[in-house]
Amino acid sequence: MALRFVANRPDPAVVTLPWELPLEEWPDDVLVALPRGLSRHVVRIIGLGGRNYAVKETQEEIAFREYRLLRDLQRMGLPAVVPQAVVTGREDADGEPLPSALVTRHLQFSLPYRALFAHGIRMEDLPSLVDAMVVLLVRLHLAGFYWGDVSLSNVLFRRNAGAFVAYLVDAETGELRPELSPQMREYDVTVGCENIFAELLDLQASDEAYADLPAHDVIAMVKERYDALWAELTGTEHFGTDEMWRIQQRIERLNELGFDVEELDIVTDFDGQQVHLSPRVVELGHHCRELQALTGLNVEDNQARRLLNDLAAYTAHLGLGMEDRHLVANRWLTQIYEPIMAMVPKEARGKLEPAELFHEILVHRWYLSERAGREIDIFDTARDYIDTVLTQKPDEAVTPPEPGVTVDLGLM
């Protein structure tokens, strides 16, 4: 049987991979030392021409279904890995059939939850991790995506200005519908709580997490925060006609959560004394779209909010409030952001993505200024942070190895 490749913007190098070998037997010279989450399938991370990909062996029908679902999620702007190709018709040297394979792009600067705990995630970071999972689940549900297998193992986490953002990496059990019923949403949340609880207990049993990790409290937090966010985004609000300011207040609260309002359904009662307000929100990304329009930087939403705040402080400090905002943003970009990024040594650029690094420098500046009793220059802060903090951090981005280099396969 001939090999068949179905690909979205195909990388020609994918064709040259050793598809005649079972994935478990692929040679080290194509593998990359990146941590991986737990999976019911054989999964390997490979490096090709400066890009990293995840390859998963599965059945042909399942591979095509997940490939198309991931493409749909990509078109909808939802946080999921990008599908690259489906490979079918694989056979070994004896002509025996091998499983089909799904190829996705590896998400740069992302980590599975086990690697986060291995990197020393703090107990106080757990609410941020929960919030990332909850926001991902709510976004998928708003779009009509039923996950079917919500778990920590099926997501990757990226840092987001001191918090986290979660990306879906396994859509095998997913399904897109025009709208989800409350029962389907509830089932997804219930399955997620059960899986997360089991995963946290497994971490404790394997000594990869704190012995006193509050697993019960974590899953209670998942349910509570999911319900609260869903209600904020979709709930109907009732108030009197003398409180019309609450319309703008609701919009601002949604914007603070990172969502834009596409449409408001405003209905008054028969005597015109009561107003019923139902918002229809659109995709998360209010702040990152604003920053991208001003600077061209494409970052996570919390990171964008942090950078926009620094841009606002820069504008106020130099008295540029009356200037064109795009010109001021370009000045901040070329005089502050880019010079600081250029200060980072080449060997340290895989430790944090640039926007997260800039956020940490701003936090470091606050600590230095508080200790000194005066405001510390941003460039002095950057030098101190690079010398004393950044060099101690583990790499969170790994580039493909040179040919012939043997690598550790990382976590499973």
Where residue 151 sits, what CATH number does that domain have? 1.10.510.10
> What distance in Å separates the CA atoms of residue 8 and residue 56, rounded to the nearest whole number?
16
State the first-to-last Cα distance of the chain, in angstroms, to the nearest integer: 32
Output the pLDDT for position 76.
87
Tell whether 92 is covered by a domain: yes
Q: 255 with 212, same domain?
A: no
Q: 115 with 224, same domain?
A: yes
Q: Which of 182, 253, 192 is nearest to 222 (CA)?
A: 192
Output the pLDDT for position 399.
44
DSSP 131-161: HHHHHHHHHHHHTTEE-S---GGGEEEEEET
Q: What six digits make up the tokens of 313? A: 């402080």
Dihedral sign of CA atoms 282, 306, 123, 155 in order: positive
Radius of gyration of the chain (CA): 24
Output the pLDDT for position 20.
93
Positions in the chain short of pLDDT 70? 1, 34-39, 120, 207-212, 258, 260-263, 269-275, 277, 280-284, 395-412
Tell whether 253 is covered by a domain: yes
> What distance in Å separates the CA atoms of residue 88 and residue 71, rounded to the nearest whole number?
18
Q: Examine the fold and report which residue of 85, 106, 127 is the final residue of a domain before the chain moves on.
A: 106
Tell whether 404 is covered by a domain: no
Q: 296 with 334, same domain?
A: yes
Tell whether 99 is covered by a domain: yes
Output the pLDDT for position 263.
65
**Residue pointed to by tokens 């799904």:** 102
Q: 44 with 100, same domain?
A: yes
Regarding beta strands 274-284 and 100-105, do their DSSP bridges make them parallel or antiparallel, or are they unpaired? unpaired
Tell whether 353 is covered by a domain: yes
* Long-range contacts of 303-308, Cβ-Cβ distance < 8 Å, separation of 24 or more: 303/160, 303/161, 303/355, 303/356, 303/358, 303/359, 304/355, 305/161, 305/258, 306/161, 306/355, 306/358, 306/359, 306/362, 307/337, 307/355, 307/358, 307/359
Using CB atoms within 10 Å of the CB of residue 53, give its burial: 0 to 12 exposed, 13 to 18 middle, 19+ buried.
buried
Strand order in the sheet with 163-168: 110-111, 155-160, 163-168
CB burial of 113-151 (b: ≥16 within 10 Å; e: otherwise) equals: bbbbbbeebeeeebebbbbbbbbbbbbbbbbebbbebbb
- Give the distance between the most distant pair of CA atoms in the chain: 81
DSSP 239-308: EEGGGTHHHHHHHHHHHHTTEEEEEEEEEE-TTS-EEEEEEEEEEE-HHHHHHHHHH-----HHHHHHHH
Q: 253 with 344, same domain?
A: no
Q: 308 with 260, same domain?
A: no
* Angle formed at CA 335 by CA 333 and CA 341, multiple of 5 degrees: 70
pTM (two decimals) = 0.73
Q: How many domains does the structure of the chain reveal?
A: 4
Q: Which of 215, 231, 157, 220 is nearest to 189 (CA)?
A: 220
Write the CA distances from 263 to 230, 233, 260, 266, 288, integer angstroms: 17, 12, 9, 10, 21
Output the pLDDT for position 3.
83
Task: Answer for the pair 180, 141: CB distance below 8 angstroms, yes or no.
Answer: yes
Half-sphere exposure of 346 (CA within 13 A, CB side): 1
Q: 116 with 227, same domain?
A: yes
> What distance in Å separates the CA atoms of residue 280 and residue 329, rounded to the nearest whole number?
31
Tell whether 402 is covered by a domain: no
Q: 272 with 323, same domain?
A: no
Q: Counting runs of H as helices and runs of E as strands, what totals does the chain give?
A: 12, 13
Q: 264 with 294, same domain?
A: no
Q: 145 with 66, same domain?
A: no
> What distance in Å separates the CA atoms of residue 35 and residue 112, rounded to the nearest whole number?
7
Task: Answer for the pair 91, 98: CB distance below 8 angstroms, yes or no.
Answer: yes
The values of phi and psi at residue 158, to 5°, are -120, 150
Tell whether 305 is covered by a domain: yes
The 3-state DSSP composition of the chain as helix, strand, coil percent (nearest 5) reads 50, 20, 35
Q: 32 with 89, same domain?
A: yes
* Helix, strand or coil, per DSSP, at residue 24: helix
What DSSP designation does 363 have? H
Tell whether 412 is covered by a domain: no
DSSP 163-189: EEEEEE---TT-EE-SS--HHHHHHHH
Q: Which of 340, 335, 330, 260 is nearest to 293 (CA)?
A: 330
Structural domain boundaries enclosing 202: 111-234
For 371, residues 6+ apart whose C-beta sits below 8 A from its C-beta are none
> What distance in Å separates the CA atoms of residue 201 and residue 151, rounded to the nearest whole number?
13
Q: 203 with 307, same domain?
A: no
